[in-house]
A and B are shown apart, each in its own frame.
Chain A
């Protein structure tokens, strides 16, 4: 499978704990995006990487959230001191380097439940 891969698929955690999600983009895609989707809503942009550089962050990305893409390949999204409002589907997407407006391809997401 050469699509965007996300792990874990599901994560249940207690309020106050830290969680980390991983995303492996499509091979050779240099652009990587994180989105969050709550029930009944469309995905909302969180942050964007071009290679290893984090070029844009949404106001939704509070200081409890941090994302990295250390070698320009896979990316991690960490949420510290989770809150119940963090419960959502966290989606990763990637797009090709050749066309800055090439369409985004999404993974199947990590569903986070904070109890």
Chain B
């Protein structure tokens, strides 16, 4: 079993819809949780960064962490065509040299 599971299935949504993405993980030591956005042929760009459980909101983006269920989510409200990208979840343990474990990524297409 991989440390981080992310269903890589492509997701197509109409413009303005809510996009919902999630990851599960197996390592209880993970304390820091991130979502990265990656456009084609570019490096991952940090979107959201949270510590431990709870919610964090930044504009149209909301990240949720449920450590008891080992489950994290990203919601994108009022999706735009410019949100079309691959979204990667990532996480790390405290004191683990900040080495990130990534999911496979979700390709999201927002249709105008």
User: A residues engaging B (CB < 8 A)?
Assistant: 4, 6, 31, 33, 35, 40-45, 48, 50, 55-56, 91, 95, 100-109, 111
For window 25-55 of chain B, which residues contact chain A by CB distance below 8 Å?
31-32, 34, 36, 41-46, 49, 51
Tell me, rounded to whole Å, the shortest Cβ–Cβ distance linking A85 to chain B.
19
Q: Does B95 contact A (CB under 8 A)?
A: yes
- Whether A44 contacts B8 in the complex (CB less than 8 A), given A103-B46, A106-B45, comes out as no
Select which of B46, B102, B104, B105 is within 8 A of A105 by beta carbon.
B46
- Whether A101 contacts B94 in the complex (CB less than 8 A), given A45-B99, A106-B43, comes out as yes
Q: Is the CB of A104 within 8 A of B98?
A: yes
Residues of A within 8 Å of B51, CB to CB, are 101
Q: Does B19 contact A (CB under 8 A)?
A: no
- Whether A108 contacts B43 in the complex (CB less than 8 A), given A42-B88, A42-B90, A103-B49, comes out as yes
Q: Does B22 contact A (CB under 8 A)?
A: no
Q: How many residue-residue contacts, CB under 8 A, span A and B?
A: 65
24 A-B pairs with CB atoms under 8 Å apart are A31-B98, A40-B8, A40-B104, A41-B104, A41-B105, A42-B103, A43-B88, A43-B100, A44-B102, A45-B100, A48-B98, A55-B97, A56-B99, A95-B98, A101-B51, A101-B92, A102-B98, A103-B32, A104-B46, A104-B98, A106-B36, A106-B44, A108-B41, A108-B43
Residues of A within 8 Å of B6, CB to CB, are 42
For window 61-108 of chain B, which residues contact chain A by CB distance below 8 Å?
88, 90, 92, 94-95, 97-105
Chain B contributes a number of interface residues (CB within 8 A of A) equal to: 29
User: B residues engaging A (CB < 8 A)?
Assistant: 4, 6, 8, 31-32, 34, 36, 41-46, 49, 51, 88, 90, 92, 94-95, 97-105
